[in-house]
Amino acid sequence: MSEATAVATAPVATDPSLPFSQEVPGAVIGEWAADSDKALFVAPDKLLPLLTHLRDREGYDFLSSVTCVDYSAYKGKARAGISERFDVVYHIYSTRQGGGPVRLHVRVPESETVPSATSVYPGANLQEREVWDLYGVKFEGHPNLRRVLTWEGFHGHPLRKDWKEAYFEEEAKPFKSRHPEGGYKWHEDKLPWGDNNTYPQNWDPDSWSEPVTYVPVSQAPSDHHAYGELDTQSIVVNLGPHHPSTHGVFRMLTRIEGETILALEPEMGYLHRNHEKIGERNAWLMNMPFTDRLDYINSMSNNLGYALAVEKLLGIEVPERAQYIRVIMAELTRVINHTWSIGFILNDLGALQTPALYAIEEREMILDLFEEISGARLMCNYMRFGGVVRDLTPGWEERAKYLVHDRLPRALDQLDDLLSGNEIVKARGRGVGYLSAQDLIALSVSGPMIRAAGLAYDIRKAEPYCIYDRFDFDIPTLPESDIYARYYIRLLEARESIKILKQALRDIPPGEVNAYASATLNQGFGTIMGGKGGYNFRPKEGEAYARIEAPKGELGYYVVSDNKANAYRYHVRSPSYINLNALGPMSVGYKVADAVVILGAIDIVLGEVDR
Amino acid sequence: MFGTGLLKGLGITLKHFTDTFTDDRQKVPSRYQDSIQLDKNRRIIEQPITQEGLLTIQYPEERRLLPERFRYIPMLIWDTEANEDRCTACGICAKVCPPQCIWIVRDKDENGKPVTRPAEFYIDVAVCMSCSFCTEFCPFDAIKMNHDYELAVYDRYPQLVYSKEELTVPLEYYAALWPTQFAAEQQKRKEEAEAERIRNEEKKRAAEEKARAKAAGEAAPAAAEGGAKPKRSAEELAAMKAAAAAKAAARKSGEEGGESAAVAEAAAEAMAAPAVSEADAKKARLEEMKRQAAEKAKARKESGA
Ligand code: SF4
Ligand code: SF4
């Protein structure tokens, strides 16, 4: 993987040496520094031909991330002379060749639109809606362009740099009011303009009603004559937002005909807290504990992804031992997640609570280990830029070895024995929720879901990060792409994780854990065990995208620095959110009760979906 | 075959059931053999990682033994040896705090000049996200993470905005909660003090040297410029080397955490009650915790009233 990219020079006039100038003339109008991932500036009107070419001729079949940057407050030098306010950024990978992305930037002024990529990559659907919602950039040709994380009565586009949140204090932390004159004031009393709430013009809460059309649902056939003489009508039913099997607050809007689903649309955002805006007010380090709160089952891998992204910007190396510790934590997390997910698939099948609690029993042991080294069971906040915050405690490795060699394999075998041959699991799981591998990839789905569809794509192998290339493990795949396969693939993956864990615990070297001392950070203060320095460093101007194979799929962090102590842009490409692209297509034709399990088998966490 | 799943499931339930009792039976006469009694019917139990069967703990009668690194909300350290707050109101913790929940008012002397002491120190613990950055970056070891997690009150404001008085704990309390880290810090402090002493001595010697050279220079003004200078700087070099070596040693022992034998020894020295058995140490920790919690609850109630 390449170094962090230096921010590009201004786009130059089309010249034949630019990539794809033969194939799609005039599409690429500029290029980034030579050492970067392929990062290209694209003319908006040529975007779709270029995407089509990339997909059909170059094998870039997986649109990983679509996001946007509002450059209106950019302080760096690289943007001098560029008037367009927004850059829409695409990262596209190839699941066949593996390796790094093609990164495309499309520059748009505030008033203009970008062609929607959904006709080429249907998976752009939710992400483009997110960009519209949070930035107000319109996508021409999007089938369902309405707000997704905030609601329709929301005023403004919150990730724009000039948008201020309720209780806004300052553009960037640390806030001046805290020291040295920081007498505590109750937030509600503190601000002259109260809670800083504004409403759209002419907005009246009493007369307002949702002006939305739920496109797939509203376009589904409403009359159906399936039963000959019986004249039936389909109806619209809301599953959620408060439903025990929706894993948090999440709504499935369905049009059903009897028990059969004709159309389904996911509705989310109930837990939205504008994580990315918080992240852009924060100093770089401050984001670390916030990432814990995304997918709160897997805080360790969230930490890891963010640390990798910022390390790319900073260009720092991680010492051997810390590399091993990181891998150990990431894989323990994967075991936690997969047993959890198996347990809750059963829950959704109707076996309420008891099996789930058995399945997550070993999780308690692993959390004990996490707590011992990091101080917390769920919100670990354990990784730092350049390493991890503290070394393992004495005896930790022995306890971990006991788990990995004895207890976890035993627990997984027990689950396998109990569930894999179970008639009910088979009857409910086999053939339900089918979607082909091609469809899944086109919908930007990642993680266990595509491996359960027979596609051996795993970032740990395709684009190895940390030290995953040193371990001997397989990517299990199953061909069926149904609920049962999605259950079973998680069991197989947990076994592979244990394989990695055994090797990592065997090979872990003694030595220094944190690279702060050798990093080019401002040397700050630090206690002996804490990380030294590095709470107010300034990464050089540039952008970086780091992705890891998180237990739920591809977790990516896209960060932009303008050489300030705060992140200029901080974006989380969350697997839970983007995997929901497939929920509708997967559920159509199955029963309502199946839709609940289909959702369960996608394995989402609403903290990460809604951010 | 139909029904096998049911039987297997019941088998697992039965196994858990018997495991639970086997586990208990090994501890006859009491399930609470290795636990620590807090008060009449509260105890701390430590669950070994090998425990089979039921993992549930009957909170609040039973509690888990928390690991040393457990972090909940911060506490301020009152240095009982120096009889002062360790905090110097430098504001670093308030700057690194991700949700910005630390509020510090720096104290002033009678002339209005700022002094290195906080007049007020608030943490809004309803906002604190237990990240422990304040602890990691405090250069004076003045703020540490408390293990007390029972903070429930009826109103968020003002009860959950902790003032300096509510946050402050004596050094011994910290030493009991975080024995390894405390020992390592003490060791580092000792080494720093030693390095400081050596530095001061060197300085004094150098000053004397200088005075002598000056005297010599007065005696032989022509020769002094060439002769005395290089000699003095060689000595200075040696002093600097010694200081650097001491510093490196301090850093090294710090990085090894509390795990080396030397540090552990220092720990025993540093603790008020040296070389107590582990169980006693635990007990002491918990006693202190209990006392602290009671005190705090009282203070909170008063402030809420
Ligand atoms: S607690 Fe530490 S970092 Fe915070 S103001 Fe006091 S001395 Fe500074
Ligand atoms: S633990 Fe974290 S959130 Fe809490 S006061 Fe300290 S720095 Fe702030």
* pLDDT tens, residue by residue, A64-82: 899 999 888 887 777 777 7
Contacts of B55 in chain A (CB under 8 A): 361, 364
Domain around A188: 165-209
Summarize the confidence of residues A532-540 as an average pLDDT.
68
Say whether both A90 and A50 belong to one domain.
Answer: yes
Q: Which of B131, B132, B127, B102 is nearest to A292 (CA)?
A: B131
Give me the pLDDT at residue A529, please: 31
Residues contacting residue A493 through CB under 8 Å, at least 6 positions apart: A334, A338, A448, A451, A476
Q: How confident is the model at residue A497 (pLDDT cuts 50, 70, 90)?
A: very high
Say whether both A130 and A68 belong to one domain.
Answer: yes
CB B253 within 8 A of CB B194: no
* Residue ranges of B 190-219 with Cβ closer than 8 A to chain A: none
Average pLDDT of chain A, as a whole number: 81
As a whole number of angstroms, the distance between CA A184 and CA A176 comes to 13
Pick B189 or A130 by higher pLDDT. A130
Say whether both A136 and A169 belong to one domain.
Answer: no
Q: Which of A120, A103, A78 is nearest to A28 (CA)?
A: A103
For residue B229, pLDDT over 60 is answered with: no
3-state secondary structure of A342: helix
Residues contacting residue A435 through CB under 8 Å, at least 6 positions apart: A443, A453, A481, A582, A585, A586
Residues of chain A above pLDDT 70, percent: 84
Say whether both A342 and A424 belong to one domain.
Answer: yes
Say whether both A305 and A344 belong to one domain.
Answer: yes
Residue B47 to residue A184, Cβ atoms within 8 A: no
For residue A12, pLDDT over 50 is answered with: no
Contacts of A181 in chain B (CB under 8 A): 105-106
CB A172 within 8 A of CB A281: yes
A527 CA → ligand 1 middle, Å? 12
* Residue ranges of B 121-140 with Cβ closer than 8 A to chain A: 122, 124, 129-133, 135-139
Name which of A432-441, A485-494, B210-219 the model is least confident about.
Answer: B210-219
* pLDDT tens, residue by residue, B102-115: 989 888 888 888 88
Pick B37 or A499 by higher pLDDT. A499
- The helix (H) or strand (E) run that includes residue A67 is strand A62-70
As a whole number of angstroms, the distance between CA B230 and CA B245 comes to 23
CB A274 within 8 A of CB A254: no
For residue A606, pLDDT over 70 is answered with: yes
As a whole number of angstroms, the distance between CA A87 and CA A71 comes to 8
Complete DSSP assignment for A218-230 = HHS--EEEEETTE
Q: How confident is the model at residue A304 (pLDDT cuts 50, 70, 90)?
A: very high
Complete DSSP assignment for A367-422 = HHHHHHHHS-SS----EETTEESSPPPTTHHHHHHHIIIIIHHHHHHHHIIIIIT-
Is residue A507 in some structural domain? Answer: yes
* pLDDT tens, residue by residue, A79-138: 777 778 888 999 998 888 877 788 888 888 888 888 988 888 988 889 999 999 999 898
Number of Cβ pairs < 8 A linking chain A and chain B: 164
* pLDDT tens, residue by residue, A43-57: 888 888 888 888 888
Q: Does B49 touch chain A (CB under 8 A)?
A: yes
**Among B73, B85, B104, B162, residue to substitute to test ligand 1 (most atoms within 8 Å of Cβ):** B104
Give me the pLDDT at residue B175, please: 86
CB A447 within 8 A of CB A301: no
Residues contacting residue A586 through CB under 8 Å, at least 6 positions apart: A433, A434, A435, A598
Q: How confident is the model at residue B118 (pLDDT cuts 50, 70, 90)?
A: confident
B143 CA → ligand 2 middle, Å? 10
* Cis omega (within 30 of 0) for bond into B60: yes
Give me the pLDDT at residue A43, please: 84
Pairing relationship of beta strands B168-170 and A113-115 according to DSSP bridges: unpaired
Give me the pLDDT at residue B269, please: 42
Name which of A385-389, B88-92, B191-195 the model is least confident about.
Answer: A385-389
To 10 degrees, what angle do helices A320-349 and A592-602 make? Answer: 170
Pick A565 or A24 by higher pLDDT. A565
Summarize the confidence of residues A363-379 as an average pLDDT.
90
Both tokens assigned to A364: 């308690």
CB B128 within 8 A of CB B101: yes
* pLDDT tens, residue by residue, A319-364: 788 888 899 999 999 999 999 999 888 888 887 777 888 888 888 8
For residue A314, pLDDT over 90 is answered with: no
Give me the pLDDT at residue B245, please: 56
Give me the pLDDT at residue A508, please: 86
Is residue A309 in some structural domain? Answer: yes
Both tokens assigned to A459: 């970032």
Is residue A235 in some structural domain? Answer: no
Which own/partner pairs from B264-271 qualify as long-range (CB within 8 Å, at least 24 positions apart)? B264/B183, B266/B183, B266/B186, B266/B187, B266/B190, B267/B179, B267/B180, B267/B182, B267/B183, B267/B184, B267/B186, B267/B187, B268/B183, B270/B175, B270/B182, B270/B183, B270/B186, B270/B187, B271/B175, B271/B179, B271/B183
Residue B143 Cα: closest atom of ligand 2: 6
Residues in a beta bridge with A108: A86
Summarize the confidence of residues A239-245 as an average pLDDT.
70
Query: B74-177: what fold?
Result: Alpha-Beta Plaits (3.30.70)
* Cis omega (within 30 of 0) for bond into B179: no
Give me the pLDDT at residue A319, please: 79
Q: Which of A216, A500, A187 is nearest to A333 (CA)?
A: A500
Residues contacting residue A355 through CB under 8 Å, at least 6 positions apart: A343, A346, A347, B9
* pLDDT tens, residue by residue, A567-599: 899 999 999 999 998 988 888 888 888 888 888
Q: Does B181 touch chain A (CB under 8 A)?
A: yes
* Burial of A197 from C-beta contacts in 10 A (0-12 / 13-18 / 19+): exposed
Both tokens assigned to A33: 């520094």
- The helix (H) or strand (E) run that includes residue A340 is helix A320-349
Give me the pLDDT at residue A34, please: 42
Give me the pLDDT at residue A328, please: 93
Q: How confident is the model at residue A500 (pLDDT cuts 50, 70, 90)?
A: very high
Summarize the confidence of residues A154-169 as an average pLDDT.
83
A327 CA → ligand 1 middle, Å? 34
**Domain locations in chain B as residue ranges:** 4-64, 74-177, 180-220, 234-288
Give me the pLDDT at residue A230, please: 62
Q: Choose from A143-152, B217-226, B227-236 the range with maximum mean pLDDT.
A: A143-152
Summarize the confidence of residues A154-160 as an average pLDDT.
86
pTM of the model: 0.81
* pLDDT tens, residue by residue, A259-299: 888 888 888 888 898 899 999 999 888 898 999 999 888 99
Say whether both A370 and A442 belong to one domain.
Answer: yes
Task: Assign 3-class secondary structure to chain B.
Answer: CCCHHHHHHHHHHHHHHHHHHHHHHCCCCCCCCCCEEEECCEEEECCCCCCCCCCCCCCCCEEECCCCCCCCCEEEEEECCCCEECCCCCCHHHHHCCCCCEEEEEEECCCCCEEEEEEEEEEECCCCCCCCHHHHHCCCCCEEECCCCCCCCCCCCCCCEECHHHHEEEHHHHHHHCHHHHHHHHHHHHHHHHHHHHHHHHHHHHHHHHHHHHHHHHHCHHHHHHHHHHHHHHHHHHHHHHHHHHHHHHHHHHHCCCCCHHHHHHHHHHCCCCCCCHHHHHHHHHHHHHHHHHHHHHHHHHHHC
Say whether both A430 and A353 belong to one domain.
Answer: yes
Q: Which of A516, A527, A566 is nearest to A385 (CA)?
A: A516
Is residue A556 in some structural domain? Answer: yes
Contacts of B145 in chain A (CB under 8 A): 375
Give me the pLDDT at residue A229, please: 60
Q: B160 CB under 6 A from ligand 2? A: no
Residue B138 Cα: closest atom of ligand 1: 3
Name which of A176-180, A254-258, B2-6, B275-279 the model is least confident about.
Answer: B275-279
Average pLDDT of chain B, as a whole number: 74
Give me the pLDDT at residue A607, please: 86
Q: How close A509 comes to chain B (CA, Å)?
A: 14
Give me the pLDDT at residue A445, please: 92
For residue A511, give the CATH number of its domain.
Answer: 1.10.645.10
Is residue A257 in some structural domain? Answer: no
* pLDDT tens, residue by residue, B131-147: 888 888 888 888 988 88
Give me the pLDDT at residue A570, please: 92
Q: Cα A315 vs. chain centroid, distance in angstroms? A: 23
Say whether both A38 and A187 belong to one domain.
Answer: no
For residue A11, pLDDT over 60 is answered with: no
Give me the pLDDT at residue B262, please: 39
Give me the pLDDT at residue A526, please: 29
Q: How confident is the model at residue B273 (pLDDT cuts 50, 70, 90)?
A: very low
Say whether both A198 and A297 belong to one domain.
Answer: no
